[in-house]
Amino acid sequence: MRVRFAGIELRNPILAASGTFGYGIEFEDIVSLERIGGLVTKGLSREPMAGNPAPRLIETASGMLNSIGLQNIGVQAFVEKKLPPLRKYPGCAIIANVFGYEVKDYVAVIEALNQADGIAAYEINASCPNTKHGGQVFGTDSKQLAALVDAARQAAQQRDIARPIVVKLSPNVTSIAEMARVAEQSGADALSLVNTFLGMAIDAKSRQPRIANITGGLSGPAIKPIALRMVYEAAKAVKIPVLGLGGIVTAEDAVEFLLAGATAVQVGTASYADPRAVERLVKGLEQWCTRHNIEKVAGLTGALEIVPKQQTNLRTGPSPNDGQEPSAQELSSVAESSAPRASKAKIW
């Protein structure tokens, strides 16, 4: 079950995603931290942040919409209070999620974390607005993304042992492959994607937004097909490893992301419904590999098999319904494949 990711050896490819697992230590009585591959901390800023006003988290169809506002205790409090007890679990890779509203904010957080032991890597949240450039999100502009990654890379190399930089890309872009290449060329050691998609919900009776901030980030099973496509496109575009996330609930979901090109995956929204979801998926993935005679889970990465279109036509011939509305048989097939699996029905 072991995999290597950006120079880090993970005991398995299942990690807890940022923003859904606190700072990690809060889950030690619920989840066996030594059983999971690692965890990504809640986003850390230079100073403590209170976040957005409530309501800031609501359930949606097959997912969740949130506008927490990156509430956190600040990097110094994390280093002093949250990180020390995490060192009891050396087998669990601790990745610190870093964010800011100017490049210098990211650099300051990384420099503070450089002084602490027990951190395996930094995940750079590129989905924050750059207040120096009119509030445009770092990850949606190639030049701003390049400048951010370069600065973060330099800051992370100030120690004797440099820590890897994992760039968490924004999915709200025209070409995820282009942004993946920009991050790689600017010095990223790895990528993580996708972050949440910008969404909105309205209460029809009150005619008001259901989120106080009006818009929020959509996550959960609803975004999985889009996230899977973006991981596939990014993994094809770069040579650095990819962490895949977005709607993972079952072991089979995780396998799909690995096949699409991810080296490891993060479990996020599922932890809200089932706090032990990350550990459950570790066991589930082990069982899946046993059932399918997979000796090394690393062998699944990028192992997607695509049948050429010509070969498909030779075997099955053209569809008798080409150019027409879907047939009853096709609609029935779609309905069967999209029916909720038992494990998901318990959650959403």
Which tens digit of pLDDT belongs to each residue from 130-172? 666 666 789 999 999 999 999 999 999 986 778 999 999 999 9
State the pLDDT confidence band at 322, using cuts at 50, 70 and 90: low
Q: Which fold, 3-345?
A: TIM Barrel (3.20.20)
- Catalytic site residue from 14, 65, 94, 128: 128
Is 194 known to sit in a ligand binding site?
A: yes
Is 168 known to sit in a ligand binding site?
A: yes
Is 67 known to sit in a ligand binding site?
A: yes
Q: 3-state SS of 87-133?
A: CCCCCCEEEEEECCCCHHHHHHHHHHHHCCCCCCEEEEECCCEEHHH
In this prediction, residues 172-177 reach a mean pLDDT of: 96
pLDDT of residue 181: 98
DSSP H helices, 116-269, are 142-156, 176-185, 224-237, 251-260
Sign of the C-alpha dihedral computed for residues 297, 222, 97 and 147 taken in this order: positive
Is 97 known to sit in a ligand binding site?
A: yes
In this prediction, residues 23-49 reach a mean pLDDT of: 97
Which tens digit of pLDDT belongs to each residue from 248-268? 999 999 999 999 999 999 999
Per-domain boundaries in the chain: 3-345
Is 12 known to sit in a ligand binding site?
A: no
Is 231 known to sit in a ligand binding site?
A: no
Is 247 known to sit in a ligand binding site?
A: yes
Q: 3-state SS of 21-90?
A: CCCCHHHCCCCCCCCCCEEECCCECCCCECCCCCCCEEEECCEEEECCCCCECCHHHHHHHHHHHHCCCC
The token duo for 325 is 């509305």
Which tens digit of pLDDT belongs to each residue from 72-111? 999 999 999 999 999 999 999 999 999 999 999 999 999 9
Told to judge if 128 belongs to the known catalytic residues of this protein, a careful annotator would answer: yes
